[in-house]
């Protein structure tokens, strides 16, 4: 149910028990506060009704497009962009700064291609440095940060659900290995596989020590981290809190509030309780329900025939071994907070009961194909696995100088190709203007596949490009 609150009552929001978790606020023209929704986190429990979910998504859509102002708490004179709350050694005099941020006014300042929630042009690139020590820099020189192009969040709810199921499966395989090693008193090799994607193997000795030398494409904790092009962020919630702080100087209470940092105004901008968990939940709900991009045929049957040929050549050249056309997803119940939300975000342990968004009720989800088990086929063209993608011979993607999340510098998670036709430029830095250039830039583990592409005749390469051009963003 939708509520509109007159301006004068705005100060009482949140204090009273509201039937709907969301309140839409009408502000006077002279009120330059950007945020015009309030969300009661305590009302987000259990399965949300379709009406409440659609209100929450609408609130998230508005927040995603909100140009945050100082009245909201934009700016962070005392806090760096680091994901672990960290103070500047010397307070900042300049509020906005292109390199280490705050570097933008709204999420849509960057995520706007072709619309809200989408990807971004080169001009919307971000300079990211995770370390608490290195988060303050005023140069775009790669010595200080990694430059990344903006990717889109369409279909990201399904992506996070896949990551959760894959993580649970890998953990179950590991736990079975522990039990077997204990029972038999012998070392046990566990081949790690989930949804058809292999992550190498681990060997567990009877005393519980794990040898991870043959682990491949995932962290030692076997958590699939689907987000960022590096594949180091496990959830939309965690990414959202990072982005709010880094780009806007908007501090989520669940990370920067007094309960976590002992300070009511950690970023020193004079605004306390800047952003409650309900608003973060709304941003998560908006992103998690953005429709998945699907293949869109051309009007011209000749081009469709060529695309069909290209799809086959794509598989034959080995592209589909990483860009897996679809991964099967069992559950469509999106819990927020989710099982992969840990320190630095609201977690399932912090709430009486997480909210559940039933994605199966969404029309675009219902329209996705299912496999023989009834699982939804998520048409991602990815594998949620990290790969070494550069080598001495083909080094374009090896351009970063800083490691992130202890992942080697030239290792990236397979770029999901859904929507790729509408989201130039390409590559993690966005410095490639054509799909053909992006394919030719593959090295490392993709060398055989790239060489297969290069050895094709021109018509078959054109067929692959034609196929990729069917992978459109939702229109």
Contact residues for ligand HEC, defined by CB under 6 A:
103-104, 107, 109-111, 120, 124, 126, 128, 148-151, 153, 156, 227-230, 236, 239-240, 243-244, 247, 283, 287, 314, 317-319, 321-323, 387, 389, 397, 412, 414-415, 417, 420, 423, 426-428, 435, 438-439, 442, 445-446, 449-450, 453, 464
d(CA 39, CA 205): 49
Please identify, using beta-carbon distances, which residue of 188 and 285 lies nearer to ligand HEC: 285
d(CA 263, CA 7): 29
Please identify, using beta-carbon distances, which residue of 16 and 123 lies nearer to ligand HEC: 123
Residue 182 Cβ vs ligand HEC, minimum distance, rounded to whole Å: 36
Please identify, using beta-carbon distances, which residue of 114 and 187 lies nearer to ligand HEC: 114
User: Residues 6 or more apart from 321 whose CB is under 8 A from it?
Assistant: 449
Residue 15 Cβ vs ligand HEC, minimum distance, rounded to whole Å: 26
Residue 238 Cβ vs ligand HEC, minimum distance, rounded to whole Å: 9
Q: Which of 182, 181, 174, 180 is nearest to 199 (CA)?
A: 174
Residue 398 Cβ vs ligand HEC, minimum distance, rounded to whole Å: 9
Residue 367 Cβ vs ligand HEC, minimum distance, rounded to whole Å: 22
User: Residues 6 or more apart from 363 whose CB is under 8 A from it?
Assistant: none
Cβ distance 418 to 471 under 8 Å? Answer: yes
Please identify, using beta-carbon distances, which residue of 266 and 418 lies nearer to ligand HEC: 418
Torsion-angle region of residue 185: left (phi > 0), alpha (psi -120 to 50) or beta?
left
Six-digit token string for 14: 């949140």
Please identify, using beta-carbon distances, which residue of 5 and 462 lies nearer to ligand HEC: 462
d(CA 337, CA 235): 9
Please identify, using beta-carbon distances, which residue of 110 and 204 lies nearer to ligand HEC: 110
CA angle 168, 174, 178 (to 5 degrees): 140
Six-digit token string for 426: 């390409």
Residue 168 Cβ vs ligand HEC, minimum distance, rounded to whole Å: 20
Six-digit token string for 95: 């509020």
Please identify, using beta-carbon distances, which residue of 188 and 346 lies nearer to ligand HEC: 346
Alpha carbon dihedral 101, 103, 104, 105, in 10-degree steps, equals 50
Residue 72 Cβ vs ligand HEC, minimum distance, rounded to whole Å: 12
Residue 231 Cβ vs ligand HEC, minimum distance, rounded to whole Å: 8
Can you tell me which residue has the tokens 């992969």? 340
Please identify, using beta-carbon distances, which residue of 321 and 403 lies nearer to ligand HEC: 321
Residue 228 Cβ vs ligand HEC, minimum distance, rounded to whole Å: 4
Q: For the stretch 329-353, what's the b/e string if a residue is b when 16 or more beta carbons lie within 10 angstroms of its beta carbon? A: beebebbbbbbbbeebbbbeeebee
Please identify, using beta-carbon distances, which residue of 188 and 246 lies nearer to ligand HEC: 246
User: Residues 6 or more apart from 41 whose CB is under 8 A from it?
Assistant: 21, 276, 277, 278, 281, 346, 351
d(CA 225, CA 291): 21
Please identify, using beta-carbon distances, which residue of 181 and 228 lies nearer to ligand HEC: 228
Please identify, using beta-carbon distances, which residue of 181 and 327 lies nearer to ligand HEC: 327
Dihedral over Cα of 470, 106, 227, 141: its sign: positive
CA 227 vs. chain centroid, Å, equals: 3
Quick one: 268 exposed, middle or buried, by C-beta within 10 A (0-12, 13-18, 19+)?
middle
Residue 29 Cβ vs ligand HEC, minimum distance, rounded to whole Å: 25
d(CA 150, CA 425): 9
> Rounded to whole angstroms, what are the CA distances from 116 to 3, 124, 163, 469, 470?
24, 14, 24, 21, 21
Residue 286 Cβ vs ligand HEC, minimum distance, rounded to whole Å: 8
């Amino acid at each position: 149910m939708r509520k509109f609150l007159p301006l004068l009552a705005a100060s009482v929001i949140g204090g009273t028990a509201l039937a709907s978790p969301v309140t839409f606020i009408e502000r006077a023209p002279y009120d330059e506060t950007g945020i015009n929704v309030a969300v009661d986190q305590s009302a987000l429990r259990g399965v949300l009704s379709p009406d409440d979910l659609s209100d929450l998504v609408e609130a998230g859509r508005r927040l995603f497009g909100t140009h945050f102002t100082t009245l909201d708490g934009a700016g962070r004179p005392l806090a760096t962009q680091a994901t672990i709350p960290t103070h500047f050694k010397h307070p900042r005099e300049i509020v906005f700064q292109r390199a280490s941020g705050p570097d933008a006014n709204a999420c849509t300042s960057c995520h706007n291609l072709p619309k809200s929630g989408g990807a971004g042009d080169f001009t919307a690139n971000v300079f990211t440095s995770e370390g608490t020590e290195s988060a303050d820099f005023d140069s775009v020189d790669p010595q200080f940060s990694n430059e990344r192009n903006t990717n889109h969040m369409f279909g990201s709810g399904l992506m996070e659900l896949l990551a959760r199921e894959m993580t649970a499966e890998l953990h179950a395989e590991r736990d079975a290995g522990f039990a077997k090693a204990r029972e038999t008193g012998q070392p046990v090799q566990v081949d790690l596989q989930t949804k058809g994607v292999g992550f190498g193997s681990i060997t567990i000795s009877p005393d519980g020590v794990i040898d991870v030398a043959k682990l491949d494409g995932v962290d030692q904790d076997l958590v699939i981290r689907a987000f960022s092009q590096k594949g180091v962020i496990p959830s939309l919630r965690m990414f959202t809190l990072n982005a709010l702080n880094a780009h806007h100087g908007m501090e989520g209470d669940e990370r920067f509030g007094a309960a976590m940092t002992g300070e009511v105004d950690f970023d020193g901008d004079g605004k306390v309780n800047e952003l409650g968990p309900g608003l973060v939940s709304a941003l998560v709900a908006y992103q998690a329900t953005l429709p998945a991009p699907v293949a869109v045929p051309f009007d011209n049957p000749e081009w469709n025939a060529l695309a069909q040929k290209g799809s086959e050549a794509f598989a034959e050249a080995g592209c589909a071994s990483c860009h897996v056309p679809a991964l099967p997803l069992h559950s469509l119940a999106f819990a927020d907070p989710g099982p992969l939300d840990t320190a630095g975000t609201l977690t399932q342990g912090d709430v009486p009961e997480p909210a559940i968004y039933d994605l199966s009720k969404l029309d675009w989800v219902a329209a996705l194909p299912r496999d023989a088990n009834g699982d939804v086929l998520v048409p991602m063209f990815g594998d949620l696995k990290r790969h070494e993608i550069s080598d001495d011979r083909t080094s374009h993607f090896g351009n970063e100088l800083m490691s992130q999340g202890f992942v080697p510098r030239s290792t990236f998670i397979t770029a999901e190709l859904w929507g790729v036709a509408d989201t130039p430029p390409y590559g993690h830095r966005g410095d490639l203007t054509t799909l053909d250039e992006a394919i030719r830039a593959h090295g490392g583990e993709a060398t055989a596949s790239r060489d297969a592409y290069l050895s094709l005749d021109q018509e078959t390469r054109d067929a692959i490009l034609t196929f990729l051009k069917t992978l459109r963003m939702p229109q």
